[in-house]
Amino acid sequence: MTVARRSRFASTGPAATGATRSSPEIRLAAEAACGRVILLGAGPGDPELITLRGLRWLRQADVVVYDHLVSPELLDEAPPRALRV
């Protein structure tokens, strides 16, 4: 970051407005900008062993990264719009 950019950030960024790192608004903005990664496990390959919370996360996923151990039944729980990698 250049000196001018740092200076501009210091005068207009969160510190200048009195916001702190724990500010809910800053946390929400950061999450929206960065996204979120959730790691799920379903035990030894049985799709019935995923937790309810894990199933909720899977059903909301935008991207699903998986390997050969994931059962097709479990992948079917991801939204049709979700990118599968």
The tens digit of pLDDT for each residue in 2-12 reads: 777 777 777 77
For the entire predicted model, the pTM comes to 0.58
Looking at the structure, tell me whether residues 31 and 1 fall in a common domain.
yes
| Alpha-carbon gap, residue 9 to 79, rounded angstroms | 39
Q: Which domain holds residue 2?
A: 1-35
Residue 78's SS3 state is coil
| Alpha-carbon gap, residue 51 to 40, rounded angstroms | 9
Looking at the structure, tell me whether residues 41 and 78 fall in a common domain.
yes
Tokens of 68: 């050969």
The tens digit of pLDDT for each residue in 16-74 reads: 666 555 677 777 777 766 778 888 887 777 888 889 999 999 999 999 999 888 889 99
- Structurally, the chain folds into a number of domains equal to 2
| Alpha-carbon gap, residue 41 to 10, rounded angstroms | 42
Looking at the structure, tell me whether residues 60 and 78 fall in a common domain.
yes
Alpha carbon distance, N-terminus to C-terminus of the chain:
33
Looking at the structure, tell me whether residues 47 and 78 fall in a common domain.
yes
